[in-house]
Amino acid sequence: MIQIGSKKASYYKGLLEHADSKLHEQIASSVGKLIERGGRLLDLGAGQGAMSKRLLDLGFQVVAADSDQENFMCDDAVFYKIDFNKPDEVKLLENKYSNYFDAVLGIEVIEHVENPWEYVRLLKKLLKPDGYLFITTPNISSWLSRFVFLFTGQFVSFNDKTYSEYGHISPISEWELTKILESEKFREIKIMPGGTLPAIWITRNLLFVISNILSFFIRPFMRGLISGWCIIVIAKKGLSQ
**pLDDT at residue 212, rounded to an integer:** 80
3-state secondary structure of 7: coil
Per-residue model confidence (pLDDT) at position 241: 61
Q: What is the pLDDT of residue 178?
A: 96
Separation of alpha carbons 19 and 72, rounded Å:
15
Tell me: the pLDDT tens digits for 126-152?
999 999 999 999 999 999 999 889 889
pTM of the model: 0.92
The CATH number of 9-140+172-199+226-236 is 3.40.50.150
For the chain, give every domain's residue range: 9-140+172-199+226-236
Cβ contacts of 132 within 8 Å, gap of 6 or more: 31, 34, 35, 102, 103, 104, 234, 235, 236, 237
- Is the dihedral angle over the CA atoms 208, 108, 194, 121 positive or is it negative? positive
Per-residue pLDDT tens digits of the chain, which is 241 residues long: 777 777 888 999 999 999 999 999 999 999 999 999 999 999 999 999 999 999 999 999 999 999 898 999 998 999 999 987 888 998 999 999 999 999 999 999 999 999 999 999 999 999 999 999 999 999 999 999 998 898 899 999 998 888 888 899 999 999 999 999 999 999 999 999 999 988 877 878 888 888 888 888 888 899 999 999 999 999 999 876 6
Distance CA 172, CA 77 (A): 30
CA 232 – CA 230 distance, rounded (Å): 7
At 100 the pLDDT is 95
